[in-house]
Chain A
Amino acid sequence: MLLTCADVRKTFGSAVVLDGLDLSVDEHEVVALIGASGSGKSTLLRCINLLTEVDDGTITLDGEDITNPKINPDVVRRKIGLVFQSYNLFPHMTVLDNITLAPVKVHGKPPAAARELAMEWLNRVGLADKSGSYPDGLSGGQQQRVAIVRALVNSPRLLLLDEVTSALDPELVGEVLTMIRDLKGDGMTMILATHEMGFARQVADRVAFLDNGRVLEQGPPAQVLGDPVEARTRQFLARIIEAGRL
């Protein structure tokens, strides 16, 4: 197992967001987290990336307990990429500088090599001509693809995608999803929190339904999305179908 979350608990004040959650992710596996807003998907991703401290339980990455308070979070984060719903590109830097910042400052890559790698990726995702632009000159879909490249150039062991298409106009969702599909082809291990059930079905090896801070049901997409066992999962999917998102 690349990542194991065991009995993870997180509360904010009196709200219990993660309530003894268990989840394992194998290398090269793509796991889609689904569930209602507030079911703990984003919180789980932030806990894995140590942006949020767990209140109990352990998270193990590559056999190392990363919830151990003695561990240096900066070192752990070098192995994990996180992409946010709202892109969070640095507005004062060009696309190229956004991408090369961490390789140069964190990983000690020579600037020229970092630029070369960044351009390779930008070429691959069709954004090479935007390398000198600032984020506010890009569409949402372009910004999100840059944000994904920014995470990828650090060669993470694990990529976390937090509802990366939720802030996008419908016609821009496709370009981002295509990119994620390509990454799966590369063998990238990913956990993606998503509301795009159709996409989860296509790209995920496993779908995990989060409910009340736990993984209520998980399995192959066809089973969880097509023939769920739990009543709560069926209810959730029924609401999604009602909203026309499946």
Chain B
Amino acid sequence: MSAEIHRPSDLQLGRIAYRRGQAIRSVLLAALSTAVLGTLLGVLITGAPGWARVKQSFFDWPIAREYLPEILEGLWLNIRLFVVCAVCALALGLVAAVLRTLRGPVFFPVRALATVYTYTFRGLPLIITIYLFAFGVPGLRLQGTPNVVVLGGAAITITYGSYIAEVLRAGIESVHPSQTAAARSLGLSYRQSMRHVVLPQAVRRAAPALLNDVVSMQKDVGLISLAGPIDAIRAAQIASAETANFTPYVVAGVLFVLFALPLIGVTDVVTLRAARRQNAGN
């Protein structure tokens, strides 16, 4: 390659200038159309006849400020619950997915069990699972029954584990059989091929779908409020009842969205990267 710097021809310089002009025009147009639509929406919403009442009922600043600490404290429970549930659900999903791919007659019962598990808990509404775990299990009055947070968390984990298992199983099956053939031909056992060759590729391919499930789980940990503990949603509910105002719910909602944003961003990046890799061929 020549180290000399290539000087664009006049023709190319003309093209560059033209494209730059077009780019500036595009930015200006986008700014203008955004400003017009924004103003229009602003005028329409704040000018609507019921706006004053909406503002009072949903966006009451003093109430928001007053109850923010309690709702934040509740959110801390959601965050801790989410982290624990996410880790457990990923582990559970991984085990169920691998069990479903086992071949051979010896494994029939575990395979069947894993299949029944994924079918049942993907179909069963999460609310029913939480009620059964958090209210049903303590009702048995067994010794050593854990508290409702643990029971509710278990319900969330088991439900999400079944989704994650299916996402991972699809990932495992998407790895071409020639990869397993190559691993086995080197003398790796079934388990070693799975562990070193198939699963790492399956997880990479399933990453966008997995992260989507995790994002969805992030807000569903709020359903723990159904079981009684004071999380962000329950705190908002109490505040709302005390003030006869819906602002606390909006505050809790905003907090949940902020809490989810980083992971949503990561999901988008991972998805984009996966798509780019796929388009790059191979």
Contacts and interface: CB of A to CB of B under 8 A. Distances in A.
Asked whether A and B interact, the reply is yes
A136 interface: yes
Contact of A101 (B188, B204, B280): B188
A106 B282 contact: no
A78 interface: yes
B187 A106 contact: yes
A77 interface: yes
B197 interface: yes
B184 to A, nearest CB: 6
A192 to B, nearest CB: 15
Interface stretch (B32-40, B158-166, B174-182): B174-182
* Chain A interface category by residue count: 20 to 34
B192 A105 contact: yes
A32 interface: no
A136 B181 CA distance: 19
Contacts of A102: 186-188
B196 A105 contact: yes
A92 B204 contact: yes
B185 interface: yes
A151 B186 contact: yes
B279 to A, nearest CB: 13
B189 interface: yes
Contacts of B178: 84, 86, 88
Contacts of A82: 185
A91 B204 CA distance: 11
A78 B188 CA distance: 9
6 contacts: A49-B185, A86-B178, A88-B178, A89-B182, A91-B282, A151-B185
Given A51-B181, A73-B184, A74-B184, 8 more contacts: A77-B185, A82-B185, A88-B179, A90-B179, A101-B186, A101-B196, A106-B186, A154-B186
